[in-house]
Amino acid sequence: MHDLVIRNGMLVDGTGVPPRRADVAVDAGLVTQVGEVAAKGRREIDAAGLIVTPGWVDIHTHYDGQATWDAYLSPSCWHGVTTVVMGNCGVGFAPARPDRHDWLIGLMESVEDIPGAALAEGIKWDWETFPEYMDSLERKPRVLDIATQAPHGAIRAYVMGERGARNEPATPEDIVEMAKITREAVEAGALGFSTSRTQLHRAKDGEAMPGTFAGADEMIGIGEALGQAGHGVFEMASDMAIPEDEFAWMTAFAAKTGLPVTYGLLQSPGAPDKWRDMLALTDKARAEGANITAQIACRPTGMVLGWQSTVHPFVRKSAYRAIAHLPFAERLVHLKDPAVREAILSEDAPPPPGIGAILTHGFKTMFRLERNGQLDYEPRAEDSIAAEAERAGCKPDEIVYDMLMENDGRGYIYLPLLNYAQFNFDHIAEMMHHPATVLSLSDGGAHCGVICDASFPTYMLTHWVRDRARGERLSLEKVVSMQTRDTAKLYGLNDRGVVAPGMKADLNVIDFEALSIRAPEMVFDLPADGRRLVQRADGYRATVVSGVVTFENGEATGDLPGKLIRGPQASPVAMAAE
């Protein structure tokens, strides 16, 4: 008798081959049989009319703090994710000297918009070194598997103190010490090292993220620690301001060590074709023997603007600021008052410089998030707030105000910022077809007050496979492979991502036709009543981690089979390593 048998499902096994009808048997946390399974299971799931896939492997999350207190790591767990990789973009909480706790919390709050009060209350700091942090993570039961990376910001601050925080150049001695800590972290089980080289990432005092301007000697010196350890991914968020310079050291490092380098790639409205140049440089580097991969997103990276969000178009107006401090229920009473509405709308507040102007006055790129009962992440130019206002003969901010007041003050405006320079969105499909890209950038656990992209895995199936009305759709087998085998393989997690005998039994059973993403909602369930945007999903009949059913019909079973992953995981079958 098997531990678990999933019968009669349409198996999409993660290898990229077309779906086929098959049973799946599980024993001792591993898949043991695929095909026609005669023996019974102690637990059986009838998957007739449903699809069966590997569990999703999300490689770009920021649960570094949440993982220390939360066993579920929602919202990712609601979307069929069974493995997350955190420690991205150079931010994290280890190593951590006792006098740097508040600084590390502030850095995470500023860079990733995670409430600092929640982090301060939730994190217990029973570690200083990175190996001690790993031990702390391992002691916590959880619903899914987690892995992490060694973050440049924390390492730089640990070694260099204020010099590191202020982005002063590292001395040769500093680099040696940072390399030593990185190697220690990787040997303790970190999957790699992460850094940020984008000026969008800043500390609370406005200082650029530690490591933003680090020289090639620092990057290569730290990176060589991965080579000495024999494994590890070098992950980077970067503006690629001078891409040829960045690719020079990236290529030299990757070619010398044979280890993978991966960087985030999104289309910028200021240079809408630069992403093609970046992929051309990636192809060139690969031709020279460098294992470089671009991490891409499956939809525009945009903000969800609402009265409870971090930002909305009225946030700078004094008439709004006069009530902004009130609890939402009280604030809403005022916002419903016609006199307050008139005071806010009639106030002339000039746009702030830079991105602030887009957030408060960018009406040509603001859209209704829900349209005809559906979430619309690919809006057209004619759907913009500016276009609606022109047709209605009113000011755009009047349209925004009324939209935000919908659903009893819980209406949302969608403001795509990146991956949104072409209204047909075919560039995203082009990115996804490129052999040097991997699906990523969900930022699960981060940007709590304005973004909720942890729903990416579900969106890939609903939008790109089933519902996309304009442009190319993708096959079900490609989309499943993109967020299982492909993501797992980049980080050396070759024991998962494919449904085959010997592989880890992380699985999803999905009602594909009923699969849907709910609208975002603001909840206050973090420590210290911290807020965050979440999105739930419908249609996941069951999620399985290491052979244990963790969710049924969207509800947690209470079982917590998740583990801390330490280092790369060997492949038990040849197909997973292809």
In 3D space, the residue among 269, 260, 212, 567 whose CA is nearest the CA of residue 415 turns out to be 269
d(CA 219, CA 234): 10
Residue type, 538: D
Give Cβ neighbours of residue 14 (< 8 Å, ≥ 6 apart).
53, 54, 480, 481, 484, 485, 497, 498, 499
User: Looking at beta carbons, which pairs linking 267-270 to residues 24 or more positions away fall under 8 Å?
Assistant: 267/418, 267/419, 267/420, 267/421, 267/422, 267/427, 267/428, 268/418, 268/421, 269/417, 269/418, 269/420, 269/421
Cis peptide before 416 (omega within 30 of 0): no
Contact 528/117 with Cβ under 8 angstroms? yes
Backbone angles phi, psi at 370, to 5 degrees: -100, 125
Q: What is the pLDDT of residue 574?
A: 60
Contact 526/448 with Cβ under 8 angstroms? yes
Q: What is the pLDDT of residue 576?
A: 41
User: Domains of the chain, with CATH numbers?
Assistant: 2-54+501-557 (2.30.40.10), 57-299+421-490 (3.20.20.140), 314-414 (no CATH)
Q: What is the pLDDT of residue 422?
A: 67
Tokens describing residue 500: 């085959």
Residue type, 378: E
Give Cβ neighbours of residue 321 (< 8 Å, ≥ 6 apart).
315
Q: What is the pLDDT of residue 578?
A: 42
The single residue listed with the structure tokens 């603007």 is 305
Strand pairing partners for 542?
509, 552
φ/ψ bin of 412: left (φ > 0), alpha (ψ from -120 to 50), beta (otherwise):
beta
Q: Classify residue 518 by burial, with Cβ atoms within 10 Å: 0-12, 13-18, 19+.
A: middle
Residues in the chain: 578
Instruction: Say what the pTM is.
Output: 0.96
Per-residue pLDDT of the chain (578 residues; tens, 9 = 90+): 999 999 999 999 999 999 999 999 999 999 999 999 999 999 999 999 999 999 999 999 999 999 999 999 999 999 999 999 999 999 999 999 999 999 999 999 999 999 999 999 999 999 999 999 999 999 999 999 999 999 999 999 999 999 999 999 999 999 999 999 999 999 999 999 999 988 778 887 788 899 888 888 999 999 889 989 999 999 999 877 778 888 998 998 898 888 999 999 999 888 899 999 999 999 999 999 999 999 999 999 989 999 999 999 999 999 999 999 999 999 999 999 999 999 999 998 888 887 888 989 999 999 999 988 889 999 999 999 999 999 999 999 999 999 999 999 999 999 999 999 767 788 999 999 999 999 999 999 999 999 999 999 999 999 999 999 888 999 999 999 999 999 999 999 999 999 999 999 999 999 999 999 999 999 999 999 999 999 999 999 999 999 999 999 999 999 999 999 999 999 987 654 34
Residue type, 556: A
d(CA 392, CA 193): 52
7, 188, 302, 426, 534 from 419: Cα distances, Å: 40, 36, 9, 10, 22
Q: What is the pLDDT of residue 300?
A: 93
| E strand residue ranges, 506-547 | 507-510, 516-517, 521-526, 530-534, 537-538, 540-545
d(CA 546, CA 556): 15
Contact 47/41 with Cβ under 8 angstroms? no
Q: DSSP 3-state assignment of 525?
A: strand
| CA dihedral sign, ordered 520, 522, 526, 530 | positive
Tokens describing residue 180: 């030593």
Cis peptide before 95 (omega within 30 of 0): yes
Residue type, 335: L
Q: What is the pLDDT of residue 577?
A: 39
10 Å Cβ neighbour count for 525? 12
| Pairing of β 51-54 and β 2-11 | parallel
